Amino acid sequence: MLNPSSVEFLVLEALANIRRNRLMALAAVLTAGVSLAISAGFALTAIAVHRACEKLPQEFDMAVYVRRGTPPDRVSKLKETLAAMPGVASVTFISKERGWQEFKRSLGQDISMDDVLYNPALDSFKIRMSDPRMGRDLQNRIRSLPEVDDILWRQNEVRFFTGLARVVGIAGAVATVVLFLGSAFIIGNTIRLGIYARRREVSIMRLVGARPSFIRFPFLLEGMLLAGAGAVLALLLIRLAGAYLEALTGDLQSITRFLDSGVAPWQLAVLLMAAGLGLGALSSYLSIRRYLKESSLEAAAQ
């Protein structure tokens, strides 16, 4: 165990090493910052796209048309039956008069329907589903009801966006892990260069009988400080990129709201700092462990 005086000495040593190797420390901070910013940016984008793809199928309502001549009491009973089905979030009744008016409005001024002497529309229900993945089963159950004339549901579009959400989620997770490991590799090499530059100090500490934990601690702390500073830089880069995109989109606020990752700023800050400290500690530990192992093999060979 390290006593308090040893910890204080090693902390001061880590800070002194950073001051002595300003350029290398700056390179490590920039590398960590850019790597973490790219990883976090890609992860946030993947989460936002995944959430958007999950929300899109919910916008595709199912239209259930009532068979012509169905009595009003049967129509009311049908609404209760539809609302009680699993996977149904809401049911809205649209009378044939309202449906006909909406249809004529959708045609615009170019096409006149004044010559049509009767209303060809049917009473219908607009169904909002709680889980679009249950749409096919729901459609089959509704189709078996005697009061139902027809069902309109964009099944292919729902299937496409549901599948896309799954693919984006998996691809985003894999890409984020790959980028994080790449960041660890780059930062680890930067720390290893710092260890190599101070190999005489490490050799002297080993000659005087310093424990491996005593040798590792300054490098671990140094890596955590550099990666932590990189996490702060990454947060600033993400904020700047977010402000730039917000100014660039301008009137496209509906799109930016739709492509929302759901991650609060404080959550992003905590995650980035934890990732930075963990990344610095892991990279430094692996680098110094590898160096000590290689130097031990060289000493044994001599």
197 and 232 part of one domain: yes
169 and 34 part of one domain: yes
DSSP strands (E only) in 85-217: 88-94, 124-129, 148-152
Asked if residues 229 and 187 have their Cβ atoms less than 8 Å apart, the reply is no
* pLDDT over 80 (residue 236): yes
pLDDT at 238: 85
Q: Is 124 helix (H, G, I), strand (E, B) or coil?
A: strand
> Which residue among 97, 121, 153 closes a domain?
153
- Taking CB atoms within 8 Å and a gap of at least 24, the contacts of 296-301 are none
172 and 284 part of one domain: yes
109 and 18 part of one domain: no
Q: Residues near 96 by Cβ (< 8 Å), separated by ≥ 6? A: 119, 121, 122, 123, 124
52 and 174 part of one domain: yes
DSSP strands (E only) in the chain: 62-66, 88-94, 124-129, 148-152
What CATH number does the domain containing 67 carry?
3.30.70.3040
> Which residue among 137, 153, 169 closes a domain?
153
pLDDT at 255: 47
79 and 226 part of one domain: no
86 and 145 part of one domain: yes
pLDDT per residue as tens digits for the range 183-221 = 777 777 777 777 777 777 777 777 777 677 777 777 788
**Mean pLDDT in residue range 240-245:** 78
Asked if residues 81 and 144 have their Cβ atoms less than 8 Å apart, the reply is no
Question: Which strands sit side by side in the sheet containing 88-94, from one edge to the other?
Answer: 88-94, 124-129, 62-66, 148-152
pLDDT per residue as tens digits for the range 10-26 = 677 777 777 777 777 78
The token duo for 256 is 């930016």
Asked if residues 64 and 125 have their Cβ atoms less than 8 Å apart, the reply is yes
User: Which of 48-57, 183-192, 219-228, 256-265 shows the highest mean pLDDT?
Assistant: 219-228
172 and 23 part of one domain: yes
172 and 147 part of one domain: no
Nearest to 245 by CA among 30, 45, 40: 45
Q: Helices 22-59 and 4-20 sit at what angle, rounded to 10 degrees?
A: 90
The token duo for 58 is 């919910």
pLDDT at 297: 47
pLDDT at 250: 56
Domain count, the chain: 2
* pLDDT over 70 (residue 129): yes
Question: 42: how many CB neighbours lie within 10 A of its CB?
Answer: 16
- Structure pTM? 0.60
User: Which of 1-5, 17-21, 141-145, 194-198 shows the highest mean pLDDT?
Assistant: 141-145
> Which residue among 128, 153, 178 closes a domain?
153
144 and 172 part of one domain: no
Domain that holds residue 236: 4-56+160-301
Q: Helices 212-249 and 4-20 sit at what angle, rounded to 10 degrees?
A: 50
Asked if residues 29 and 233 have their Cβ atoms less than 8 Å apart, the reply is yes
**Mean pLDDT in residue range 152-166:** 72
177 and 294 part of one domain: yes
The token duo for 158 is 């729902």
Rounded distance between C-alpha atoms, residue 30 and residue 232, angstroms: 11
Q: Is 65 helix (H, G, I), strand (E, B) or coil?
A: strand
| C-alpha dihedral (23, 25, 29, 30), degrees to nearest 10 | 20
Rounded distance between C-alpha atoms, residue 22 and residue 261, angstroms: 37
- pLDDT top residue among 112 and 50: 50
52 and 66 part of one domain: no
> Within 13 Å of residue 70, how many CA atoms lie on the same side as its CB?
22
Beta bridge partners of 128: 90
* pLDDT over 80 (residue 245): no
